[in-house]
């Protein structure tokens, strides 16, 4: 039979091991980030890519489209865009979106603001498709 002292040592060791295991487990759970849920988009990103490449890519850089854009802002740098904001920008044109994110000084380096003709050039579905493509492309880059 084990002595009383030895039993206390065993109980203390087991209890300590349980506390350490609980702490390690809870720490691991606390630092594990949940995977972000995919956000449903209004448009069809696959259809939007072709429109973006042929219409928007001349002005805008977007890595996912492999466009060289030399006139307007690099969209890969506009990381906080929502799909609704992109739709609004396409509809209204102008420098407001870029100015809001980077300030007036950044806008000043672009001689030509985004035209507001796309609302009458594209259907609302086409605009949603372009916005879906840009938005999902930016989200894919953020998750890497």
At 82-139, the pLDDT tens digits run 899 899 999 998 887 778 777 888 878 887 888 889 999 999 999 999 999 999 999 8
pLDDT in tens, 65-86: 999 988 888 899 887 888 998 9
Angle between helices 83-92 and 124-142 (to 10 degrees): 130
8 A C-beta contact, residue 52 and residue 130? yes
- pLDDT for position 91: 92
Domain residue limits, the chain: 1-32, 45-142
CA distance 88 to 130: 12
Residue with the two structure tokens 């506390």: 19
Reply yes or no on whether the pLDDT at 10 is more than 60: no
Is residue 127 within 8 Å of residue 90, measured between CB atoms? yes
SS (H, E, C) 52-121: HHHHHCCCCEEHHHCEECCCCCCHHHCCCCCHHHHHHHHHHCCCHHHHHHHCHHHHHCCCCCCCCCHHHH
The first and second tokens of residue 101, run together, are: 């994110």
Q: Mean pLDDT for the chain?
A: 78
pTM for the structure as a whole: 0.69
The reported pLDDT for the residue numbered 52 is: 96
pLDDT of residue 109: 81
Instruction: Give the pLDDT score at 49.
Output: 97
pLDDT of residue 120: 93
Question: What would the pLDDT profile of 20-45 be if each residue is shown by its tens digit?
Answer: 444 444 455 545 555 555 556 789 99
Which two structure tokens, joined as six digits, stand for 91?
């509809």
Q: Is the pLDDT reported for residue 12 higher than 80?
A: no
CATH number of 45-142: 1.10.760.10
């Amino acid at each position: 039979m084990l002595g009383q002292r030895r039993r206390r040592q065993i109980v203390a060791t087991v209890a300590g091991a349980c506390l350490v295991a609980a702490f390690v487990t809870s720490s691991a759970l606390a630092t594990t980030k949940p995977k972000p849920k995919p956000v449903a988009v209004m448009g069809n990103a696959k259809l939007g890519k072709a429109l973006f490449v042929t219409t928007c890519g001349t002005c805008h850089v977007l890595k996912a489209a492999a466009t060289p854009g030399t006139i307007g802002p690099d969209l890969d740098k506009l990381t906080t865009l929502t799909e609704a904001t992109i739709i609004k920008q396409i509809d209204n044109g102008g420098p407001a979106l870029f100015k809001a994110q980077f300030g007036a000084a950044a806008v000043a380096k672009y001689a030509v603001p985004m035209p507001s003709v796309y609302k009458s050039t594209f259907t609302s579905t086409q605009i949603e498709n372009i916005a879906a493509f840009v938005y999902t492309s930016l989200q894919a880059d953020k998750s890497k």
